[in-house]
Amino acid sequence: MPPLHRVTSLSLALASPLKPRLVPRRSLFRYRMASTTVFGLKEASLVRTQGFIDGKWVDAKEGGVIKVTNPATTEELGTVPEMGLEETKEAIEAASRAFKTWSKTTAKQRHDILKKFYALMQEHQDDLARLITLENGKPLAEAKGEHAYSASFIEAVRTYGEVIPSSFTQLRNVVIKQPIGDSILTPWNFPSAMITRKLGAALAAGCTAVIKPPPETPFSALALVELATRAGVPPGVINVVTTQANVSEVGREMCENTAVKKVSFTGSTPVAKLLYGLAASTLKKVSIEAGGNAPFIVFDDADIDAAVEGAIICKFRGTGQTCVCANRIYVQSSVYADFASRLAEKVAAFNVGNGLDKETTHGPLIHERAVEKVERHVEDALAHGAQLVHGGKRLPGAGSFFAPTVLSDVPADALVNKEETFGPLAALTRFETEEEVIKLANDTSAGLAGYFFSRDIGRVWRVAEALEVGMVGTNTGVISQAVIPFGGIKESGLGREGGHGIEEYMNTKFIAFGGL
């Protein structure tokens, strides 16, 4: 375990640079069995190191594997198969066959299975949280929070039909909802919740699914599939294809195969555009949650203590690696110095280290490329005249650690204000008027989330309506819940997940009953 540091989708763009390693077929099974011991779970059978197609755990046909490491220690956790086009086609065929029966089950039947799934997730919550920490790096307490969030997407989801008054006496108008079928591509920053946020609604709607989890964090997804199978989800309803080197051909097949009717993706905006274009070839239904560049605004009438606490959780949760993290922090001039000093004091108290250590408050970044991006943003801001208040450098030892950082006087044209950092960097920019900061906040192609703190009720309404985002947090740094319609506008995506999310997995059909 590295020392604690006391410091004063599918995303193709973020695919790991690690190359697949081939091992002889006969040694593959023994290798995987040995690797499960490093997880330290109460129930070792939750560690699954194979893909899942048509109810069977399977290896890659060509025998390739992907090495998965702990970002806090660089220790190898184990391997998963390097699957490709052939396995993806098999998974889609299995899902298509299973759809014929699963889509005909009653809502009550699916509800009962999902309730069992939820109960199993709760029964194994300690192991599932530990898996998240091991492969993602986030502190165990935060991983437990993700698990609770993840499980909440499996609880009851409802949808309703509609009866529309007819314009004609001999007709009755009825609207029903029918399942559509699904491909799911997810990112690494929420290894569990990004799966269930899509899968819960898909299963409840009567859809089958082919999941491509991220190569950095596949074990959480595979453990969830193991529990779903125990809960009674039939063969072929859920399929998992793990890949890294073959991600382009796998993603293309999931988007272009005519048997797939819906694609759901969370990840970077460039990859979202690519997949959207591929899915357009067959006019598939698509839901996308892409990148963010969230503004966090502190007005002069704000409760500064509350604003600082909001910034801490909004900016530094997941070590800054969430799509709704505050990326640009704007503070009104009259309270700028006070806010900056209080924020820096809080950040200085962080303990950075291995997420399994009880004293750790913040873990590593997912890999070296993530560290390099934070470094690049810090260096660019300083070159543009920003001042370093705290942190600003990578931390020594094993693992991909970067010191939580606060910069002040960051100019609007700095790189950090133009790109999503996805790291522990709080960049503070001064503003004078409400009109000025609204213009700054909206000066981006992203539109996922935005936050601001103010005690003026008129301003609260004006700013909430003026921000060009899909979700707004007023006087809070926390917005994510299973019950809300989660999603963005502009280049941050299409559709919604969570509340209203089941609609994304259903077709609306109108039926006119005549001859009455």
Residue positions annotated with a catalytic role: 289, 323
Q: Is 456 exposed, middle or buried (0-12, 13-18, 19+ CB in 10 A)?
A: middle
DSSP annotation of 367 reads S
Alpha helices in 361-409 (DSSP H): 368-383
DSSP annotation of 430 reads E
E strands in 55-160: 56-58, 64-69, 76-81
353 Cβ contact partners less than 8 Å away, ≥ 6 residues apart = 1, 2, 3, 4, 5, 72, 359, 360, 363, 401
Question: Tokens 């970077």 label which residue?
Answer: 268
Q: How far apart are CA 376 and CA 245, in angstroms?
A: 26
Q: Tell me the chain's radius of gyration from C-alpha atoms.
A: 23
Answer whether 438's CB lies under 8 Å from 114's CB: no
Cα–Cα distances in angstroms (integers) from residue 20 to residues 17, 23, 87, 250, in the given order: 9, 10, 16, 15
Which two structure tokens, joined as six digits, stand for 417? 């204000």
Which two structure tokens, joined as six digits, stand for 446? 């992203």
The residue type found at 21 is: R
Q: Is 481 exposed, middle or buried (0-12, 13-18, 19+ CB in 10 A)?
A: exposed
Residue 379 burial (CB count, 10 A):
12
